[in-house]
Amino acid sequence: MRKRTLALTLVLLVGLHPQLEEILREYLRGPHRPTGDLLFPSLATGREAMLTDARKPIDHITERAGWKPGEIRTKMFRHTYCAARLQTLDGGAPIPLYTVSRELGHTSQAMVQKVYSHLGTIRHRSEVVEYRVEQHKKVLAKKLKELEDIAKTS
């Protein structure tokens, strides 16, 4: 007897945060905006298609920013988002773990609690997710100096 499997389609809707909205609006009005139906299309075949593997474009951007290919991966974006989201406020109170775990597609809070529980000690809180280089200057100091030197020589 053949076993049948049931495939479920999960659709996650996460609100667009103000910083990202501003960046995307500028991109969509700019000279490099997409001309087809997709926001970030793959044109590898010469025709617009769904981008199914972002590693090459990310590696290209990574190299232009001064890192080595493979140093930046999509998992890091997810991790950064989760860490930043846990530092936001919801109605004046810290965002619940439940909300963030659902936004990430987890069925329970366990993974978010295990990986990010140390963020409860963070004193900086804001109404929206923020990605500010200033918050990470100490860690990024060497890389920022390298990029500054590259910009001066170009």
Q: Does residue 66 sit within a domain?
A: yes
Please determine, for residue 45, whether its predicted confidence score (pLDDT) is greater than 60: yes
Number of domains in the chain: 1
Q: Does residue 127 sit within a domain?
A: yes
Q: Does residue 141 sit within a domain?
A: yes
Q: Does residue 136 sit within a domain?
A: yes
Confidence at residue 119, expressed as pLDDT on a 0 to 100 scale: 67
Please determine, for residue 35, whether its predicted confidence score (pLDDT) is greater than 80: yes
The stretch 30-59 carries a mean pLDDT of 87
Q: Does residue 32 sit within a domain?
A: no
Q: Give me the domain span that covers residue 127.
A: 55-153
Bridge partners (DSSP) listed for residue 94: 89
Measured distance between the N- and C-terminal CA atoms of the chain, rounded to whole angstroms: 67
Question: Beta-carbon neighbour count of residue 131 at 10 Å?
Answer: 12
Q: Does residue 99 sit within a domain?
A: yes
Q: Does residue 132 sit within a domain?
A: yes
Task: Select from 48, 22, 53 the least CA-distant residue to 37.
Answer: 48
Q: Does residue 128 sit within a domain?
A: yes
Give the separation between CA 116 and CA 119, rounded to whole angstroms.
6
Tell me, yes or no, if the pTM score tops 0.95: no
